[in-house]
Structure 1
Amino acid sequence: MEHFDEAAYRDSLIARGMEPGLATDVAANVAANRPRLLNKSVTKLLDTPEAMANEPATAIKAPSKTSSAPSAPAPKSTRKPKRAPQGEVSQKESQAKRDAVLQKTMEEVKKEQLSLFDIAPWDDDMRAIPNDIARTALFTVKNKRKPREALQGQPIYSYNQDVRITFSGIELRAEDDELVWQQMLEYSKRFPIGLPISFTFYELCTDLGWPINGKYYKKAEDSLTRLQASALQFQSSRLGTLVSLSLLRRFGILDRGKRSSRCQVELEEEMVYLFAGDHYTIFVWEKYRKLTPTARRLFDYFASHKQPFPLALDKFQQMCGSDTARAAKWKEQSKAACSELTNSGLVAGSWVNGDMIYCKR
């Protein structure tokens, strides 16, 4: 088991804005419960649909018999009672079982004050993204000069056919929003899930590799506002339906205009479900954040698979939410993304052959 440094964990909580007394209590609680909890392996609770199917269904009691005198027989109806389709019944039962497991898991996470790092650990020079998000068009690569769309209940393309997402909010883009969200996951990973964390715009822009000036502080604030105002309806065979999940539950600025000004955010507690069961991808942040949006989205796809399966150009365009009109131009853009990805060192090689994109790790 990985050694847990209680003092270092406490100091990291204080450095992120937590009161020293609370930080001491949280660190002690995590240290006390960590061995038992990690041995129990909470992450496996959400590993597969089969695991959820093993949860016992609620028993239905048969009506009790009575010894009272029989009443006169009711007239027989010639109309057969309506029965719900078998598939619909099975689907509702499966969803009920998933809901029970999700609730049980979240109660355990809250009770033990687990952090995202306890469930999905990654090193500080790495970042992470859930696979079910990496393979969707949630973060687009549209031209930055084109105004962002305001979307309401918009279906989001997913390469995985069993994942369905609808989105409400201002369009999110890979150029900034994807990176800012990943950095929020990084800031939050060592805090108990659902606890507010704080940071400065200086820290955020530094970690993103953005210039330190008012323009980029405003860019960061706008992105955080979009992430907080987002609403996702998420459904998959693994998790069932998660209702109204926001990429950031809360965002605010404390002491705005003062030298002591700090941002404060909270992640949705349900965000942990997307990571549970090792359904996430980690990558080298320094290289990843320097990629252009199209090259980064290409890496999202290849890195989120154990085997880098070839990707059709038209599927990649859908995954990017690209509005490039001509297929020939998109092919050239994809070739450029392959070259950039290869030169980054994140993969051994990537190239286009015919209408398919290939990758070698």
Structure 2
Amino acid sequence: MPAAPTPSASLWPTKVAQSGLTNFITPYAMARSAIFSTQVYRGQSARPRYLEKTPLTSVKGMSVFQLAGEQLDQNDADVFYELLRRVIAQGDGSAREARVQFNRTELLTALGRARGGKTVKLLSESLARLTDATFYFEIPGLFTGRSRLILKALTAEEMQTLEYDYDVLIDVELSKLLAREQWAFLRKKERDSLAGDPLAKGLHAYYATHKDPYPVRVDTLRWLMGRQTMHPSKFKKALTDSLANLKSATGWHTCEIVNAGGDMAKVCVVKKPPQAKKPVKTSSSSQSVANHNIKAISWDAIQSPIDLVHLSANELVALMDDQAKSEWAALSGTHNTRDEGSAWEAARGILERQCVALIAVRYPGTDPYDI
């Protein structure tokens, strides 16, 4: 006797469907790969077109390939994330496809775009690219297979019986990319404030998928952001500006390039400032011994200047040698060291040079940022 068919449950994770949905949602596989390039394509700047299975840059642990269609960009990402948000808000992920119907002026308003012939044309072009693009994912334990972003996009011009300007079918196969908590919210207000800076948008999506981001080489980000054809020095300049915009939009504590020399340059993003620890009361006779022990233990634990970003301003000052303390004293008159953020930035800048020198002695000829 054949087994009875198993009822089809909703494919969208319950936690996602119940989370308010006023913000965008991105699967890690999209934010941590070059599916949505941050490159600006205009005029004679032709988009790459994929005619065969081609690997896209992605982080370790996943492989993403584009099988067909043109390279997508951050404008396409805005459109797709808004459509995905609406699909999840509808709450029905049991079907093979999910329908989203909308009028162009309403969608443009939701995207924060002005209404007009040019923006309507750009929207139509984005929908066409999103429909043509086909991908293959290899994500162990999550999803291995082929998927499109949009299965079909009909317009009122093509089908006059349509009640709306567009009738779009999203591939629900994409819901597999959101399983096992492999997704992150993109705060729409923050992303909207980054309009005009596609690189900052790409960085925003990438770092949104990390609770405590680890330092990443500048050149690694150049490829992840789809800027591999851009000269490294020009990319570093653009990256510096976009990191400043990212910090302003998000309020994250640190968004900067550390040790900007050559291939050793890495991007350091710290979302929350280190928490200052309450001082431990000690007797005057044991004070010097206590300070010595804290310094010795802390330096033993620090293997790279990157480790300094996890220390408070007081802990940074406690690590300073005589020369660093002299620099710190000189800076006290020019920095508002009563302000925690300002004090931390100043102390870390001084201590970073001391740390690099120390590691050069410990591990001669080694990149101090790659220990």
Same fold, judged at TM 0.5 (above): yes
The amino acid across from 1:337 in the alignment is: S
Q: Which amino acid aligns with 1:311?
A: V
In structure 2, the residue matched to 1:252 is 154
Give the match for residue 59 of structure 2: 159
Q: Residues of 1 paired with 2:116 and 2:234: CA distance?
A: 35
Q: What is the CA deviation profile of residues 66-104 of structure 1, one whole-angstrom value per residue up to 9, with x for unaligned ones?
A: xxxxxxxxxxxxxxxxxxxxxxxxxxxxxxxxxxxxxx9
What corresponds to 1:116 in structure 2?
A: 12
Deviation at 1:117, TM superposition (A): 6.7
Deviations 1:217-244, CA, capped at 9 Å, x for gaps: 111111011111111111111235212x
Partner of 1:144: 41
Cα deviation, residue 346, structure 1: 5.1
Distance of aligned partners of 1:314 and 1:115 in 2 relative to their CA distance in 1, 3 Å threshold: same
Distance 1:190 1:325, change over 3 A: closer
Query: Contact 1:302–1:309 (CA<8 Å) still a contact in 2?
Result: no
Q: Does the Cα contact within 8 Å between 2:33 and 2:64 map onto a contact in 1?
A: no
Which position in structure 2 is the counterpart of 1:211?
Answer: 114
Which of 235, 243, 255 aligns to 1:350? It is 255
1:274 is aligned to 177
Alignment of 1:44-123 (within 5 A): 108=7, 111-112=8-9, 114=10, 116=12, 118=14, 120-121=16-17, 122-123=19-20
Change (3 A) 1:217 1:115: farther
Taking structure 1 as reference, are residues 346 and 254 closer, same or farther at Cα in structure 2, changes over 3 Å only? farther
Does the CA-based 8 Å contact 1:115-1:190 persist in structure 2?
A: no
Q: What SS class does the counterpart of residue 137 from structure 1 fall into?
A: coil
Q: Distance in 2 between matches of 1:117 and 1:190?
A: 12
Query: CA-to-partner distance for each residue in 1:287-334, whole Å, 9 max, x for gaps?
Result: 213321111111222111232111110100000111454322111111
Deviations 1:250-296 (A, max 9, x none): 11113569895421111112111001121101021022133211111
CA distance in 2, matches of 1:261, 1:196: 12
CA contact 2:33–2:56 (8 Å) conserved in 1: yes
Check whether the contact 1:198–1:263 (CA below 8 A) recurs between aligned residues: yes
Q: Answer with 143-152 or 249-258: which moved more.
A: 249-258
Alpha-carbon RMSD: 2.2
- The residue type paired with residue 186 of structure 2 is F
Distance 1:206 1:284, change over 3 A: same
- Residue 270 of structure 1 aligns to a residue whose secondary structure is helix
- Once residues 13 and 102 of structure 2 are traced to their aligned partners in structure 1, the CA distance between those partners, rounded to angstroms, is 18
The question of whether the paired residues in 1 share the 8 Å contact of 2:39 and 2:199 is answered with no
TM-score (norm: length of structure 2):
0.63
Q: Which amino acid aligns with 1:181?
A: F
- Indicate the structure whose relative CO is greater, using CA pairs within 8 Å and at least 6 residues apart: 1
Q: How far apart in 2 are the matches of 1:160 and 1:345?
A: 26
Q: How far is the alpha carbon of 1:349 from its aligned partner?
A: 2.7
Q: How does 1:192-211 map to 2 (within 5 A)?
A: 192-193=92-93, 194-211=97-114
Structure 1 CA distance for aligned equivalents of residues 239 and 258 of structure 2 = 11
- The 1:147/1:164 distance shift into structure 2, 3 A limit, reads closer
Q: Which amino acid aligns with 2:25?
A: A
Establish whether residue 179 from structure 1 lines up as the match of residue 71 from structure 2: no
Asked if 2 retains the 8 angstrom alpha-carbon contact of 1:324 and 1:330, the reply is: no
Could you tell me which residue of structure 2 aligns to residue 230 of structure 1?
Answer: 133
Q: How many residues align?
A: 251
Could you say what secondary structure the match of 1:238 adopts?
coil
**How far is the alpha carbon of 1:127 from its aligned partner?**
0.8
Counterpart Cα distance in 2 of 1:199 and 1:316: 35
Partner of 1:130: 27
Question: Could you tell me how far apart the structure 1 residues matched to 2:69 and 2:81 are?
Answer: 18
- Contact 1:350 1:358 (8 Å CA) reproduced: yes
SS in 1 for 2:101: strand
Amino acid at match of 1:216: T
Q: Give the TM-score of the pair, scaled to structure 1.
A: 0.65
Q: Could you tell me how far apart the structure 1 residues matched to 2:108 and 2:12 are?
A: 23
Task: Give CA deviations for 1:93-150 in whole Å, capped at 9, x if unaligned.
Answer: xxxxxxxxxxx9xx65xx34x3737352332321110011110011112232212121
- Structure 2 CA distance for partners of 1:240 and 1:283, relative to 1, 3 Å: closer
Counterpart-to-counterpart distance in 2, 1:315 and 1:337: 16
Question: Any stretches of 5+ residues in structure 1 without a counterpart?
Answer: 1-103
Gaps of 5+ in 2: 260-264, 272-371
Taking the aligned partners of 1:237 and 1:115, their CA distance within structure 2 comes to 18
Question: 4+ runs of 1 displaced by more than 6 Å?
Answer: none
Query: Does the aligned pair in 1 maintain the 2:186–2:205 contact within 8 Å?
Result: no
CA distance in 1, matches of 2:159, 2:174: 31
SS at match of 1:196: strand
